[in-house]
Chains A and B, each alone.
Chain A
Amino acid sequence: EAGVAQSPRYKIIEKRQSVAFWCNPISGHATLYWYQQILGQGPKLLIQFQNNGVVDDSQLPKDRFSAERLKGVDSTLKIQPAKLEDSAVYLCASSLSGRQETQYFGPGTRLLVL
C-alpha cells in the first residue's frame, strides 16, 4: 500500500513570494490533514478535510494561507505572500474516516523563507 505522498520535499523562497505544496493521501482515505511543524515544536493542525469539505480551519491564517481538496483526493496548500515565520515543515496526513483513527503522515515539505 502506497503511503502519503508530498511534493516538493524542499522549497526555498524569498519573503512575499508565493508557494504551493501538494499532497496525495493513501487511497481510500476520506480525511486529510495539513499540519505545520516549526523547528523544535510539535506539529500544529492547520486544516482538516473530510472528503472535499473543510471540517476545521480555525488555526489557518486565512489572510495568507489557502487550501483545497478537489474531488476529495489530492490537496494543495498555498501561502501567498510568505513571511519569514512561515519557515517550517508542512506535513500532510490522512486517515480512513477521521475521528480517532490512526493518521498516516507523509514525509513533509521543508520550507525556508529568506
Chain B
Amino acid sequence: AQTVTQSQPEMSVQEAETVTLSCTYDTSESDYYLFWYKQPPSRQMILVIRQEAYKQQNATENRFSVNFQKAAKSFSLKISDSQLGDAAMYFCAYISGGGADGLTFGKGTHLIIQP
C-alpha cells in the first residue's frame, strides 16, 4: 500500500518570505500523480498544485512550486512571497495512475504566517 509522510506538523514563516513544506511517499508503481491541497480553517479543501510522475519538469502555479525528486520519492512545496491568506493546513496526496483507491493523504502541515 502507498504511504505519504509529512514530517512537519507545523511551520511558521514571516509574511513575504519563502517556506518549503516537505513530503515523502512510498510506492512500487511507476505511474502516479502527486498533489498539494490547501485546507483553510473551516473551509473546503482546494487544489494547490499537481505533478505527473512521468514529467521531469517541476510544476509551478504562480507563487507555488514543487521540487519533485522521483528517485528519492520526495515532493516538497515551496511557497514564495508568503501571504496571510496562505495560512492553512497543507496536505500532500498521492494517487495511482489508474485512479483506483482514491487519494492517499499525509497527515498535513499547519502553516502559520507571521505578519
Instruction: Identify the A interface with B (CB < 8 A).
Output: 3-4, 31, 33, 35, 40-45, 48, 55-56, 58, 91, 98-108
Which residue of B45, B47, B99 is within 8 Å of A99 (Cβ)? Answer: B99
* Contact across chains for B102 and A33 when beta carbons are under 8 A apart: yes
Majority secondary structure of chain A interface residues (helix, strand, loop or mixed): loop
B98 touches A99 (CB 8 A): yes
Residues of A within 8 A of B103 (CB): 33, 35, 43, 45, 103
What are 21 sample pairs from A and B whose C-beta atoms fall under 8 A apart? A4-B44, A31-B99, A33-B102, A33-B103, A40-B107, A41-B107, A42-B4, A42-B93, A42-B106, A42-B107, A43-B45, A45-B104, A48-B102, A55-B100, A56-B102, A100-B97, A102-B50, A103-B102, A104-B47, A105-B44, A108-B44
Q: Which residues of A contact B101 (CB under 8 A)?
A: 45, 48, 56, 58
From residue A50, how far is it (CB to closest CB) to chain B in Å?
9
CB distance from A97 to the nearest CB of B (A): 9
Picked from B47, B95, B100, B105, the residue with its CB within 8 Å of the CB of A44 is B105
Report the bound CA distance from A103 to B93 in whole Å.
11
